[in-house]
Each structure stands twice: as structure tokens, then as C-alpha cells.
């Protein structure tokens, strides 16, 4: 958001990030983004919230619960293509705009040493799929399509457009 010229105040809502039975990935991230925004919504301020997941062969890869789990995720992502699906929400009071964006990421084949060194950096432990494309894992990417900003947590094009729409009202 700062790169787009905004000076955000960051608040972290205590929204449980749990998939409901029968809920698609797109429905999940959209719902969580809206719930997070509503949890901190104010009538005067514009609130922006989002949720991002990594999907490999139909399975959601959440945040790893240990370094070993991060290594397991990265081994699975090595040499494969996966999706990053991000839900976003912009609201002010009762006014709400939201959507879902997806991008495709292909990782090159990764060596066990690369994976181990990356996990030892600590970077992947709080990130969906066990990696941060904007950090050390950027070098793992061999092909990418979609909004780059979606891969790092929030698709800036639709979000900034929505902020401008609400600000004009």
C-alpha cells in the first residue's frame, strides 16, 4: 500500500482462517477478506483487508506449522505450477467492494540444499505455501502470470481503484 502512495495504519483482526465445508478456495478468500475488513471497519476511514492462499493440485497450502512442514511444502512446489488466490475487500462503513484475483506461479526444480537454506532463513514460516515471492523465494520462480502484487498479499490494481471509488462518495 505504501508503494501505491498510501500511508496505512495496520491492524490485525483476530479472524479465524478456517475453510467452511463445501467452500471453494475463491469463496474462502473472499469471505475471509470481508470478515477481516468488517472486524475493523470504521465509518470515517477506508479499510482494506485481504486473505491469500497457495493452491497446489486442488489442495490449499496454508502457513507451515514448523520448519519441517515448510520444507515439505517447498519440496512439493519444486518443479510445479501452482495458483496464488487472493481475496480483497475495501470498505467504509456499510459501503463495501470486494473481489478475488488469482495468479499462476511455476517453480523451477529446487535442490534440497536451496530449500533447507531458505527455510533456515525463517522467512517461510509465516507465509502461505511456505514462501515469500517478494523475498528469497523470488529466485525459485521460472514463470509467472497475473498481478505480481497479488502474489505478495494484495492485488493493488483493483484495490487502489476501489479505494478511489469509495473516497469519491
Catalytic residue among 15, 48, 49, 51: 51
Catalytic-residue membership of 51: yes
Rounded Cα distance, 151 and 132, in Å: 8
Q: What are phi and psi of 127, to 5 degrees?
A: -125, 140
Q: Please say whether the beta carbons of 132 and 152 come within 8 A.
A: yes
User: What is the chain's percent helix, strand, coil content, to nearest 5?
Assistant: 40, 25, 35
Name the residues annotated as catalytic: 51
Amino acid at each position: 500500500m505504501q508503494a501505491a502512495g498510501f500511508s496505512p495504519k495496520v491492524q490485525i483482526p483476530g479472524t479465524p482462517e478456517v475453510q467452511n465445508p463445501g467452500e471453494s478456495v475463491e469463496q474462502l478468500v473472499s469471505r475471509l477478506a470481508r470478515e477481516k475488513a468488517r472486524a475493523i471497519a470504521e465509518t470515517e476511514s477506508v479499510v482494506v483487508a485481504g486473505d491469500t492462499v497457495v493452491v497446489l493440485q486442488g489442495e490449499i497450502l496454508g502457513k507451515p506449522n514448523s520448519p519441517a512442514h515448510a520444507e515439505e511444502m517447498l519440496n512439493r512446489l519444486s518443479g510445479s505450477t501452482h495458483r496464488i488466490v487472493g481475496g480483497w475487500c475495501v470498505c467504509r462503513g456499510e459501503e463495501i467492494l470486494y473481489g478475488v484475483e488469482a495468479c499462476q506461479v511455476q517453480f523451477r526444480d529446487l535442490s534440497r540444499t536451496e530449500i533447507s537454506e531458505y527455510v533456515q532463513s525463517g522467512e517461510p514460516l509465516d507465509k502461505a505455501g511456505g514462501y515469500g515471492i517478494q523475498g528469497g523465494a523470488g529466485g525459485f520462480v521460472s514463470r509467472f502470470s497475473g498481478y505480481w502484487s497479488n502474489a505478495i498479499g494484495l492485488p493493488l490494481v483493483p484495490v487502489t481503484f476501489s479505494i478511489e471509488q469509495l473516497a469519491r462518495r
